[in-house]
Amino acid sequence: MKPTQALHESGQSLWLDNITRKMLDEGTLTEYVDELSVTGLTSNPTIFEKAIAGGDVYDTQIQELLGSGVDVDDGDVFFALAIDDLRRAADEFAQVHERSAHLDGFVSLEVSPEFAYDTAKTVAQAAALHHQVERPNVYIKIPGTPEGLPAIEETIYAGIPVNVTLLFSSQQHLAAADAYMRGLERRIAVGLPPDVPSVASLFMSRWDRAVAETAPAELVNRLGLAIGRRAYRGYVELLASPRVMRLMNAGARPQRLLWASTGTKDPSASDTLYVEGLAAPFTVNTMPDTTLLAYADHGAPVQSMPADGGDAEEVLADFAKAGIDVDAIAAQLQREGAEAFVASWTSLLATIESKRSALAGAS
């Protein structure tokens, strides 16, 4: 049995943190589904920018959009390209979606950061994007920043599946879970079905990169997994809470915890560090191609994280003794993540504008 299949059978969903039209055209995604137990995928502006800039596979559609007679800006072009790709990917996972009773088999599309501080516009765009994709197995990604939490609640209340992104700590994860549950509770209060799925994406590898220059040698590459174990303990406790049980009794499903940014950044560390260390049932691990292929090739046997977090608090106490403030780093990482989201979006639009100009000149 391949390590990826064993991980899947242990109760964790393996998702791909990538999408390109070339991958769809050449059957690579189908291969991952059939041979590596992949049951969903995530996307972001950086992934699409690399795909659009990296070749001519999108050129024909861009030219068609420019020649349609409809005034489209660079953002409109991006969403048209992304939605076409994600529809195809969603169809690839349709059987998984049905087989899992609509728990798994999702793809994700991110809202524009232009509306990051405007709840009403974020909610409106989330609804519009979900309607445009026209697939039931699509998550709309909304940042779990303080400004994003009201939009998450409203979007869930509207019945739209949400992937909460840019979470870096157990505290931030639990705040996102609270926003999700508020949306469900409001639906129940007015007689609407509460079966609106969601995942909460906790970013892992950036922790170890953030302290690479300051952590003592014995603690190098141990912070991310300790943060993950603390978050998993909080997650398990949340799942067993009366609040979640009441929601489940009304027909809801708990929001699943998703491990994001699980590609190893340190070349001296194991390339499967954040796959092997974050194995746990009723969670998702979304990983880049290189990490997925590495784990399929030489992943260690599955050992699920202990429900009580294992040695997480002991390791985090060692970081505190070394003068490393994890709460401050969590806030910093979320702030930097939000800024990087804006920068990535700006770069994406510039790439599309450059591509448009080149195609217009060629024609």
**pLDDT value, residue 123:** 95
Q: What is the pLDDT of residue 240?
A: 98
Q: Of residues 2, 50, 121, 141, which has the active-site annotation?
A: 141
3-state SS assignment for residue 256:
strand
**SS3 (DSSP) at 8:** helix
- pLDDT tens-digit readout, 263-285: 999 999 999 999 999 999 999 99
Q: Percent of the chain scored above 70 by pLDDT?
A: 99
**CA trace torsion 155, 160, 166, 170 (10° rounding):** 90
DSSP β-ladder status, 12-16 and 283-287: parallel
Q: How far is CA 17 from CA 13, 147, 188, 322, in A?
A: 12, 25, 33, 33
Sort 273 into a burial class: Cβ within 10 Å, 0-12 / 13-18 / 19+: buried
CA–CA–CA angle 159, 10, 201 (5° rounding): 40
The CATH number given to whatever domain includes residue 348 is 3.20.20.70
| Average pLDDT over all residues of the chain | 95
Place of tokens 């590609």: 263
Which amino acid, residue 22?
A: K
pTM of the model: 0.96
Question: What is the reported pLDDT for 362?
Answer: 67
Active site residue 141: yes
3-state secondary structure of 95: helix
The range of the structural domain enclosing residue 148 comes to: 3-362
Closest CA to 15 of 253, 283, 204, 206: 283
Tally of structural domains, the chain: 1
Q: Which of 6-10, 55-59, 84-88 has the lowest mean pLDDT?
A: 55-59
Q: Would you say residue 360 has pLDDT above 90?
A: no
Tokens of 12: 């964790």
| pLDDT at residue 70 tops 80 | no
Query: Residues 144-157: pLDDT tens digits?
Result: 999 999 999 999 99
